Amino acid sequence: MTDTTKEYAVDFPELPYEVWPSGQTVSKAGFGTYRIALGNDIQALALMKAMSSGINLIDTSTNYALGASESLIGEALKALEKDIKRSDIVIITKVGYLQGPLLEAAKKREEEGKGYPDIIHIEDHISHCIHPEFLKEQLQESLKRMSTPYADALLLHNPEYFFKDPSLPKEMSLEEKRERFYDRIRIAFECMEEMVAQGLIKYYGISSNSFPYAHDHPEFCSAEQCLNIAKSLSSDHHFYVLQFPFNLIEPEAATELNQEDDALTLIEFAKAHSLVALVNRPLNGIRNGQLIRLSDHHTVQLPDLSTLKEEIERVSHATQSFTNSIDSLDIEDQEIKNMLVSYITSFNALQVNWNAFKSEAEWTEVRNTILGKMAIALTAINQGGSEQVQQWVLKVAGLTTDIINVIGSYYATIGNADFQRVGYIRTVIEKAFPGGFTELPLSQAAFNAVRSVDGISSVLIGARTMEYVDDVLHALQHSVPVYDRADWLGMKLH
């Protein structure tokens, strides 16, 4: 199988790449296809834009959109075949889950006495299997959907689902469970080494949510143990890839000492043994079972405060001038004069305290007072003021309304839960990584923070639109400081 990734990368000198153990030159960002599917033109265009813009790593799985993600990859490769060769692109797929029609077919096989060996039924809607019979069948289906004779890598998809098997005896010890778990890994690795020999894949690995867990966690999957299994099969093994979640909310891959007698973190272990470390979920942190989106892309934004300040100052100067000359204007009724001065004075106070109110409710009370005085002043002027005064007050009243609306938007924004979340996260980032990502949108800051750790090979982003792809490309063009375990521990403590 030829490799033209180096030639591909030459066309994008502004982007960072890394040479993998396979010899391939791979972009530091990968296109994750978890939520894309054949038939969605926007998603298809996003994938093609990524491949045409320097991102040559695609990560997928046989169960993403029940196979429709792989089908979309196949269509995109066909659409771009005149400009991009298959050998320019690194495609990783994963096998393990049975859902939807595949699960129904598996249950029917069981009824006929032809079920997959070692299948685990977790719940009614999801099962799991990494037995060679299932791996071989699923890889063939995967290659058909992607219209390619090979995948660059095949990963076992969250094999730690074994520990959720409800059929495991309750009296079975964790040590016994782990022994059985790693036996399953060994059998799968033997199969995948055969796939390499057959030219169906170039290398293999594991995608596990539990790689970063503490070593005593009941679902912990040890990268060290997996590597030792591969080494026991062959000194020339092809176990190259570790994929795992890592983000600002879940920093354990950079902080948890769970490898080599608790001397190394997962990322340090990957670097020490020249393994590819692939990050998934860089923008989706999970804490206490709650998903936290590390992006301000859809978060309500503050209004243009610089323009607001200028408008308040401009109107304040005009009203001050009006107040100073009010005695010379044609206003005979002293009560009207007093109403105008009261309205103008209450508005002028905004110049110094528009952003000093403690809550939206407090601001609303002041706003209602100003609007009330404005209404009274307008009514009085219409009844007894000169045309000159009427025109001036109407103009200032219009500006007052505009300014009050913007101030209202400001208080609604700072009281918004998503806005507060983003602000808090930015504060924590600045404490942990002073000055490192200050000027970037949160999505780019979160992406670049993850790739700041020495040992990270690539970061997978679910870029479902061209806008997301552009965001990743902009992030890649920023230089990234190197942050170590101590820096990330600071992030974890917050």
Question: Binning pLDDT at 50, 70 and 90, where does residue 408 land?
Answer: confident
In this predicted structure, the answer to whether residue 330 has a pLDDT above a threshold of 70 is no
Do 146 and 74 fall into the same domain? yes
Do 18 and 166 fall into the same domain? yes
In the numeric block, which tokens belong to residue 279? Answer: 């990050």
Q: Please tell me the distance from the alpha carbon of residue 338 to that of residue 331, in angstroms, as a whole number.
A: 11
Give the mean model confidence (pLDDT) for residues 262-290.
95
Tell me the pLDDT of the chain averaged across its residues.
Answer: 90
Give the mean model confidence (pLDDT) for residues 63-89.
96
Instruction: Find how far residue 108's CA is from the centre of its chain.
Output: 38
Q: Please tell me the distance from the alpha carbon of residue 91 to that of residue 94, in angstroms, as a whole number.
A: 10
Give the mean model confidence (pLDDT) for residues 167-172.
94
Q: Helix (H, G, I), strand (E, B), or coil: what is residue 306?
A: helix
Q: How many CB atoms are located within 10 Å of the residue 38 CB?
A: 18
Do 282 and 338 fall into the same domain? no
Distance, first Cα to last Cα, the chain: 48
Report for 129-138, 318-327, 380-389, 437-446: range of highest mean pLDDT: 129-138
List b or e across 234-260, with b for residues whose CB sees 16 or more CB atoms inside 10 angstroms. Answer: eeebbbbbbbbbbbbbbbbbbbbbbbe
Question: Binning pLDDT at 50, 70 and 90, where does residue 290 land?
Answer: confident
Mention every residue, 6+ apart, whose C-beta is less than 8 A from residue 390: 381, 382
Give the mean model confidence (pLDDT) for residues 338-350.
75
| Ranges 218-222, 268-272, 364-368, 465-469: which has the least confidence | 364-368
Give the mean model confidence (pLDDT) for residues 417-434.
84
Do 314 and 293 fall into the same domain? no
Q: How many CB atoms are located within 10 Å of the residue 218 CB?
A: 12
Contact present, 284 and 293 (Cβ < 8 Å):
yes
Higher model confidence: residue 38 or residue 335?
Answer: 38
Do 293 and 407 fall into the same domain? no
Do 256 and 128 fall into the same domain? yes
Give the mean model confidence (pLDDT) for residues 477-484.
93
Do 272 and 352 fall into the same domain? no
In this predicted structure, the answer to whether residue 20 has a pLDDT above a threshold of 90 is yes
Q: Does 291 map to a domain?
A: yes
Instruction: Indicate the residue type of 441.
Output: P
Residues paired with 91 in a beta bridge: 58
In this predicted structure, the answer to whether residue 43 has a pLDDT above a threshold of 90 is yes
pLDDT digits 0-9 by tens, 178-192: 999 999 999 999 999
Q: Does 424 map to a domain?
A: no
Identify the H or E element spanning 129: none
Report for 225-234, 351-360, 377-386, 388-397: range of highest mean pLDDT: 225-234
pLDDT of residue 312: 78
Contact present, 116 and 131 (Cβ < 8 Å):
yes
The dihedral built from the CA positions of residue 239, 27, 58 and 207, taken in this order, carries a sign that is positive
Q: Please tell me the distance from the alpha carbon of residue 373 to that of residue 346, in angstroms, as a whole number.
A: 8
In the numeric block, which tokens belong to residue 396? Answer: 């200032």
Contact present, 150 and 1 (Cβ < 8 Å):
yes
Instruction: Count the domains in the chain.
Output: 2
Contact present, 212 and 252 (Cβ < 8 Å):
yes
The dihedral over CA atoms of 228, 232, 237, 240, expressed in degrees to the nearest 10, equals: -10
Do 276 and 377 fall into the same domain? no
Instruction: Indicate the residue type of 230.
Output: A
| Ranges 331-340, 400-409, 457-466, 481-490: which has the least confidence | 331-340
Q: Helix (H, G, I), strand (E, B), or coil: what is residue 233?
A: helix
Do 199 and 92 fall into the same domain? yes
Q: Please tell me the distance from the alpha carbon of residue 24 to that of residue 17, in angstroms, as a whole number.
A: 10
pLDDT of residue 97: 97
Q: Does 429 map to a domain?
A: no
Q: Please tell me the distance from the alpha carbon of residue 238 to that of residue 107, in angstroms, as a whole number.
A: 33
Q: Are strands 284-287 and 290-293 parallel, antiparallel or unpaired?
A: antiparallel
Question: Binning pLDDT at 50, 70 and 90, where does residue 211 land?
Answer: very high
| Ranges 248-252, 339-343, 368-372: which has the least confidence | 339-343
Give percent of the chain with pLDDT exceeding 70: 93
In this predicted structure, the answer to whether residue 384 has a pLDDT above a threshold of 60 is no
Q: Please tell me the distance from the alpha carbon of residue 316 to that of residue 310, in angstroms, as a whole number.
A: 10
Do 259 and 240 fall into the same domain? yes
Question: Binning pLDDT at 50, 70 and 90, where does residue 491 land?
Answer: confident
pLDDT of residue 292: 85
In this predicted structure, the answer to whether residue 121 has a pLDDT above a threshold of 60 is yes
Q: Of 297, 280, 298, which is closest to residue 35 (Cα–Cα)?
A: 280
pLDDT digits 0-9 by tens, 85-117: 999 999 999 999 999 999 999 999 999 999 999
Q: For residue 205, what is the domain's CATH number? A: 3.20.20.100
Which position has the token pair 């110094």? 352
Which of 381, 414, 447 terminates a domain? The answer is: 414
Do 314 and 172 fall into the same domain? no
Q: Please tell me the distance from the alpha carbon of residue 408 to that of residue 125, in angstroms, as a whole number.
A: 47
Instruction: Please work out, in degrees rounded to the nearest 5, the angle formed at the alpha carbon of residue 410 by the alpha carbons of 409 and 415.
Output: 100
Q: Please tell me the distance from the alpha carbon of residue 376 to that of residue 302, in angstroms, as a whole number.
A: 31
Number of H helices, E strands in the chain: 18, 15
pLDDT digits 0-9 by tens, 123-162: 999 999 999 999 999 999 999 999 999 999 999 999 999 9
Identify the H or E element spanning 197: helix 174-197
Q: Are strands 90-95 and 290-293 parallel, antiparallel or unpaired?
A: unpaired
Task: Look up the domain containing 312 and give its range.
Answer: 305-414
pLDDT of residue 262: 94
The dihedral built from the CA positions of residue 61, 66, 69 and 71, taken in this order, carries a sign that is positive
In this predicted structure, the answer to whether residue 331 has a pLDDT above a threshold of 80 is no
In this predicted structure, the answer to whether residue 248 has a pLDDT above a threshold of 70 is yes
Give the mean model confidence (pLDDT) for residues 218-239.
98
pLDDT of residue 480: 93
Q: Please tell me the distance from the alpha carbon of residue 406 to that of residue 350, in angstroms, as a whole number.
A: 12
Question: Binning pLDDT at 50, 70 and 90, where does residue 475 land?
Answer: very high
User: Is-above-0.75 flag for pTM?
Assistant: yes
pLDDT digits 0-9 by tens, 435-458: 889 889 999 999 999 999 999 999
Do 222 and 364 fall into the same domain? no
Higher model confidence: residue 270 or residue 432?
Answer: 270
- Alpha helix stretches (DSSP H) within 273-333: 305-324
Instruction: Indicate the residue type of 446.
Output: A
Q: Please tell me the distance from the alpha carbon of residue 330 to that of residue 318, in angstroms, as a whole number.
A: 18
In this predicted structure, the answer to whether residue 385 has a pLDDT above a threshold of 60 is no
In this predicted structure, the answer to whether residue 300 has a pLDDT above a threshold of 70 is no
Q: Does 423 map to a domain?
A: no
